Amino acid sequence: MTDTKRIPAFCAQCRSRCGCTAVVEDGRLTGIEPLPDHPTGAKLCPKGRAAPEQVYHADRLTHPMRRTTPKGAGRTEWERISWDTALDEIARRMGEISRDHGAEQVAFGVTTPSGTHISDGIA
Ligand code: SF4
């Protein structure tokens, strides 16, 4: 028998933060449904409803990857690296760019708060 829970939640896939209901079956997220009692939970867009596909998709990246072939080399190849290695390399490279070319050469950008999960970090 399947253990199904319907958990009041909110969608974090854009800054609208729509109220929703997370459907969890045997500990696995299987659906995102509206939460009509929530002020923004009457309807959900396709991106919000696709959360289970995003969580469990076979091609989802769950660890850092380092490119091992130069740009323009044709076939692109990658190798898995640890989070510590990735953070160390990124910090070192950004430090080099800042030191060699000036701090203004380092910038962060997002396309739109409606298209990113990191909108909470946008000042
Ligand atoms: S991605 Fe869609 S469902 Fe999720 S918060 Fe944004 S508008 Fe709402």
- DSSP sequence for 34-52: E-TTSTT-S---HHHHTHH
Q: Where are the domains of the chain?
A: 4-56, 65-107
Q: Which CATH superfamily is domain 4-56 in?
A: ADC-like domains (2.20.25.90)
- pTM for the full predicted model: 0.73
pLDDT of residue 68: 96
Q: Which of 92, 13, 111 lies closest to 53 in space, CA to CA?
A: 13
Tell me: the pLDDT tens digits for 39-89? 999 999 999 999 999 999 999 999 999 999 999 888 999 999 999 999 999
45 touches ligand 1 (CB under 6 Å) = yes
Is the distance from CB of 47 to CB of 73 less than 8 angstroms? no
Q: Which atom of ligand 1 is nearest to the CA of 46?
A: 2
Looking at beta carbons, which pairs linking 2-10 to residues 24 or more positions away fall under 8 Å? 2/26, 3/27, 6/33, 8/35, 8/38, 9/35, 10/38
Take atom 4 of ligand 1 and give the residue whose Cα is closest. 48
One-letter amino acid at 104 equals: E
